[in-house]
Amino acid sequence: MQKRKLGKSNLEVSAIGLGCMGMSFGYGPPKDKNEMIALIRAAVDRGVTFFDTAEVYGPFINEELVGEALAPVREKVVIATKFGFKFGPKGEQIGLDSRPEHIKQVAEASMKRLRTDVIDLFYQHRVDPNVPIEDVAGAVKDLVHEGKVKHFGLSEAGVQTIRRAHAAQPVTALQSEYSLWWRKPEEEVLPTLEELGIGFVPFSPLGRGFLTGKMNDNTSFDSSDLRSTLPRFTPEARKANQALVDLLGEIATRKKATSAQIALAWLLGQKPWIAPIPGTTKLKRLEENIGAAEIELTANDLREIENAASKIKVQGARYPEKLEQMTGR
């Protein structure tokens, strides 16, 4: 597996990481813990060194899973986790909380669950409009000085927030959704990251599974599956957006690859400081995703995808309005 550096930082990660959220949260009931530990370790054996989790996934159980799975190989891997949510008595998410004292409490709790004495990459999960970003960056800076955090990250932040945060404490990486069917980061975010030397970690690089070509307008989702609430996953939207999947399928056939591999190779071809984190709960899919790092898309291939994709108008908002309001701040 080739390695990539996130921006100008010295943080080196595998070109393809592993998003662990779906093992415990978001896409139906939690999966079998022992099977998921085996899958995470299989990823390490195949060269993946970059693993993504967050306290809110579960909450808490995903960090525990990742911590147990990676404890035997802790020195070989990069673990990213996130802070910034507030929870009720039953563990339900009840809002945002990026107050400095809360960030420090989360860091201590996350380290325990992750079975580590240092967090490699600590992201603010969503920008908290009630706490100045300089205070957030200052709290992480303190954790860096104490040796508890190595790198500071932001998730789904807008460019002004990125600039202000970076001025207070260098930001190593921004994590946001980015794929062939969600390209908004190209407008302002990617140029800003390039200018400041910040790496980019796209989540949902396969469009929450849609770009793999394994869904159609008849696919149904469990009520505990996040996609059942997303406008972009209504049967009408899926039918309208099939043209993008067909395009990937055509190129995949020519390259003797899969649609998922072409979608990931396209992301890797955008910038050398991009490291996507596709999630999966199946070994076969893990191996397929990892294989994307070996696929070479030429400048002509990328141009062809660009030309064809520009003629396809993707239908449906990516989030309900309330969730969308929490992004791009």
Query: How would you class 258 by CB atoms within 10 Å of its CB: exposed for 0-12, middle for 13-18, buried for 19 or more?
Result: buried
Position 98 scores a pLDDT of 98
Look at residue 243 in the predicted model and tell me its pLDDT: 95
More confident residue, 208 or 90: 208
For the record, the structure tokens of 310 come out as: 């520009």
Residue closest to 121 by CA, chosen among 86, 170, 85: 170
- Rounded Cα distance, 283 and 38, in Å: 9
User: Which one-letter DSSP state was computed for residue 65?
Assistant: H
Alpha helices in 151-234 (DSSP H): 159-168, 189-196
Q: Is the dihedral of CA 308, 311, 315, 319 positive or negative?
A: positive
Which candidate in 57, 123, 178, 319 is catalytic? 57
What is the predicted pLDDT for the residue at 217?
84
Architecture of domain 3-206+270-296: Alpha-Beta Barrel (3.20)
Dump pLDDT digits (tens) for 36-69.
Answer: 999 999 999 999 999 999 999 999 999 999 999 9
* 102: Cβ contacts below 8 Å, ≥ 6 apart: 83, 86
- How is the beta sheet containing 171-177 ordered, strand by strand? 18-19, 50-52, 78-83, 119-124, 149-155, 171-177, 199-203
d(CA 190, CA 196): 10
* CA 292 to the chain's CA centroid: 17
**Confidence bin at 192 (pLDDT 50/70/90):** very high
Quote the CA–CA distance of 279 and 161 in Å, as a whole number. Answer: 27
pLDDT in tens, 113-165: 999 999 999 999 999 999 999 999 999 999 999 999 999 999 999 999 999 99
Q: What are phi and psi of 87, to 5 degrees?
A: -120, 150
Q: Do 40 and 51 contact (CB within 8 A), yes or no?
A: yes
Structure tokens at 63: 């960090």
Output Rg (C-alpha) for the chain, integer angstroms.
19
178 is catalytic: no
The Cα–Cα gap between 57 and 317 comes to: 23
Output the pLDDT for position 104.
Answer: 98
User: pTM for the full model?
Assistant: 0.98
> CA 48, 50, 52 angle in degrees (round to 5)?
125
CA distance 150 to 93: 27
